[in-house]
Amino acid sequence: MNNALLAPIKCGDCPIRHRAVCARCDDDELTQLESMKTYRTFAAGDVVLWRGEPLEFVASVVSGVASLSKTMEDGRTQMVGLLLPSDFIGRPGRTEIEFDVTATTEITLCCFSRLPFEKLVDRTPHVAQRLMELALDELDAARDWMLLLGRKTAREKIATFIEMLTRRAQLDQSGSVEALDLPLTRDQIANYLGLTLETVSRQFSALKKDGIIDFSDRRHFVVNDLAALHEETGDDADGGILS
């Protein structure tokens, strides 16, 4: 594995302190975690974990984006999840995973050796509860994605994807946002949305021609009309969560 080890920052100063698996920990529990953790960074494109490989560590994403993907024998691949800061890799009681984990941008992980971490989970309900919440959130996201993959048109898929990135950016840095970063290549977006990269490119061009979005650059876009964008997603009038 071509990754680098870093000196971890203190949990108290950690940007994902309030959202990660440690969100509900008290000071004592945090001290235990602090003594177990190591940081690792991976470059964009590096594989973090291979499907079926024995899991040596579990981890939280501190910064960057990683993807979970499944590949068929003939090379067709489908992303089955995106890991953003505060998301967790690995599960108690599982010694391997059913998909590959790849860094799509440079990422930093806060890693814990699997066995000591599992022991900690057994005696700290705060961690077990938070792990459960994270798993259920992933399940909800997976089900939304199943609707997208099974029933949405290419245009709706792209609009949904852009809206998701926009919503997430609003959460992170609440306030006015200029150009947003596209953390995936066209090919990766295609694998996420169950499309080909050509179709992704064509739909981006179409949304741009219709004045809904603009690209300052291949990797940066702005949404000109959020309401019009939402119209294209095929979702409910207010999307469940009024923005």
Partner DNA sequence: CGTGAGATTGACTATATTCAACCCTAGTGG
Partner DNA sequence: CCACTAGGGTTGAATATAGTCAATCTCACG
Candidates 24-32, 33-41, 58-66, 77-85: pick the segment binding a second copy (CB under 8 A).
77-85
Give the nearest distance from C-beta 31 to a second copy in angstroms: 23
List the x/- string, 113-152, binding to a second copy by CB under 8 A.
Answer: ---------------x--xxx-xx-xxx-xxxxxx-xxx-
73 three-class SS: coil
List the x/- string, 94-113, binding to a second copy by CB under 8 A.
Answer: x---xx--------------
Footprint on residues 123-182 left by DNA (CB under 7 A) = 153-155
Instruction: Assess contact for 192 and 144: CB atoms under 8 A.
Output: no
Measured over the CA atoms of residue 23, residue 25, residue 30 and residue 36, the dihedral's sign is negative
DSSP state, 90? -
Candidates 38-46, 68-76, 158-166, 217-225: pick the segment binding a second copy (CB under 8 A).
68-76
CA dihedral 223, 229, 235, 237 (to 10 degrees): 100
Q: Which does 70 bind (CB under 5 to 8 A by kind): a second copy, DNA, none?
A: a second copy
Residue 40 has phi, psi (to 5 degrees) of -135, 145
Q: How many degrees, rounded to 5, is the angle at CA 27 between CA 25 and CA 28?
A: 90
Q: Does 242 bind a second copy (CB under 8 A)?
A: no
Taking the C-alpha atoms of residue 8 and residue 16, their distance in angstroms, rounded to an integer, is: 13
Member of 58, 59, 66, 68 binding a second copy (CB under 8 A): 68
Q: Does 85 bind a second copy (CB under 8 A)?
A: no
Contacts of 120 (CB under 8 A, 6+ apart): 32, 33, 36, 112, 127
Q: For binding to a second copy (CB under 8 A), which residues are involved? A: 68, 70, 72-74, 76-78, 80-81, 91-94, 98-99, 128, 131-133, 135-136, 138-140, 142-147, 149-151, 193-194, 234-237
